[in-house]
Amino acid sequence: MVASNIEGTKQTKLQVIETIEEMRKLLDRNDRKGKTVGFVPTMGYLHEGHLSLVQYAREENDLVVMSIFVNPAQFGPNEDYATYPRDKERDLQLAASAGVDIVFIPSVDEMYPHESGIRILPGEQKSVLCGAKRPGHFDGVLKVILKLFNIVDPDRSYFGMKDAQQLSIIESFVHDFNLRTKIVRVPIVREEDGLAKSSRNVKLSGVERKEAPAIYKALQKGAKYIEQGKHPEEAIQMVKEMICSETTGEIDYVEILSFPDLQPIEEHSKEIIIACAVKFEKARLIDNIIMSTKEGKLNVSNNDE
C-alpha cells in the first residue's frame, strides 16, 4: 500500500494514493455502501478555478477524489511539459483545506508503464479552436481521461468551462461510449479584473499581466455585437482588433461556433461559443464566453449578398 495522510482544515485526513491498484481497492463499488464519488481531474498547481470544482463536488457527493497528474500524452514536442508549473506540497495543502477526501497522484511510469499502440481519436470537434493548432493534444486528453475514469469509477466528474473544447469532447466521449460517470460543467472562475484563472498565469510578465484582462473584455464586447444582431465575422474582427490594440500578445485564434458541437453557427443555433487563444512570451491563454441565443436572432447571412 502506497498511501500517506495530511491534515486538512475541513476534513480530518486527506488520503494520498500513488498506485492504481490502491485506488481501485479504496473505491471499489462493491465496498462503497451507497456513497457517491465526485471526481476532479487536474494537472496540479491548483488555483481557485480548481477549488471551485471541489466545492461543486463536495456539495453533491459523499466522497471527493482529485487526481494530480501532468499528462505527457497531451503535450506536443514544442510545448511546455517540462516547465509546466508543479508544487506537490502546496497542492496537497490546498486540496486538504478545500475538503478533498482522496488525492490520486501517480507517476508517469505508473500511468504509462509501456508504450501502447492503441489510440483514441476525437471526432470533428478536435479540428477547431486549440485542436486545430495542437495535433494529437485531445488524443492524449482522452487517453488519460479514460484511464482515470476506469481507475476512480466516479459517479460525477467536474470540469471547468474555461477549456470549453476539452469539455465538449469529453462530454461527447462519455455519451457516445456509455461511460458511467456524469459530466458536470462548472463556470469559469476569474480574477477581479476578469482574467480567467489559470496555472499558466504565473508565466506572464508584469506588463503582460496588466494587459491580459483585455482578452475577456474583448470577448464581452464580441458577445454584445452578437446580441445586437451583427454578423459573427464583424464580432470576430472587433475582438481581434481590441486584443491587438490593448495587448502585446499574438492571437492564435478567435472563433464563433455553435456549442457544444463546435460547428459553424446557423440561424437557429441555440447556444454559441466565442473563444480565443492569445500567446504571450511564455504563456498561451485561452478564454471563452458561452451564450444562449434566441431562435432567429442570429445574423449568419453573407454580408456580400
Go through the domains of the chain in sequence order and give each one's CATH number.
3-186 (3.40.50.620), 199-292 (3.30.1300.10)
What pLDDT, on the 0 to 100 scale, is given for residue 297? 59
- Predicted TM-score (pTM) of this structure: 0.86
How large is the average pLDDT for residues 103-121?
Answer: 94
pLDDT for position 145:
98
Q: What is the identity of the amino acid at 108?
A: V
Residue with cell 458561452: 290
Q: Which stretch of 1-10, 202-211, 260-269 has the lowest confidence by average pLDDT?
A: 1-10
C-alpha to C-alpha distance for 68 and 189, rounded to whole angstroms: 19
Question: In the structure, what pLDDT confidence band is assigned to residue 295 with cuts at 50, 70 and 90?
Answer: low
Of the candidates 158, 159, 155, 149, the one whose C-alpha atom is nearest the C-alpha of residue 35 is 155
Is pLDDT at 304 greater than 50 in this prediction? no
Q: How far is CA 260 from CA 166, 171, 176, 234, 240, in A?
A: 10, 9, 14, 22, 23
pLDDT the model gives residue 269 = 85
Question: Which pLDDT score, from 0 to 100, does residue 6 have?
Answer: 45
Q: How far apart are CA 4 and CA 274, in angstroms?
A: 43
Strands 182-186 and 3-7: unpaired
Residues 6+ apart with CB under 8 A from 112: 72, 73
Q: 134 or 281: which carries more pLDDT confidence?
A: 281
131 annotated as ligand-binding? no
Radius of gyration of the chain from its Cα atoms, rounded to whole angstroms: 20
Lowest mean pLDDT among 7-11, 31-35, 47-51, 225-229: 7-11
Give the Cα separation of 182 and 171 in Å (integer).
9
How does pLDDT run across 168-179, given as a tens digit for each residue? 999 999 999 999
How many angstroms separate the CA atoms of 21 and 144, rounded?
16
* Number of neighbouring beta carbons within 10 Å of residue 30: 5
67 assigned ligand-binding residue = no
- Annotated catalytic residue within 50, 137, 231, 268: 50
Mind listing the pLDDT tens digit for each residue in 49-89? 999 999 999 999 999 999 999 999 999 888 889 999 899 99
Per-residue pLDDT at 245: 98
- 167 annotated as ligand-binding: no
CA distance 60 to 237: 41
Residue 166 is labelled as binding a ligand: yes
Query: Band of the pLDDT at 154, cuts 50, 70, 90?
Result: very high
Average confidence score pLDDT of the chain? 91
Q: What is the pLDDT of residues 234-262, one digit of tens each?
A: 999 999 999 999 999 999 999 999 999 99
What is the rounded average pLDDT of the residues 34-39? 97
Ligand-binding annotation for 13, yes or no, is no
137 is catalytic: no
Q: Would the annotation count 59 as a binding residue?
A: no
Q: What average pLDDT score do residues 170-199 get?
A: 95
Tell whether residue 271 is among the known ligand binding residues: no
Report the pLDDT averaged over residues 219-247: 96
Instruction: Please tell me whether 16 is known to bind a ligand.
Output: no
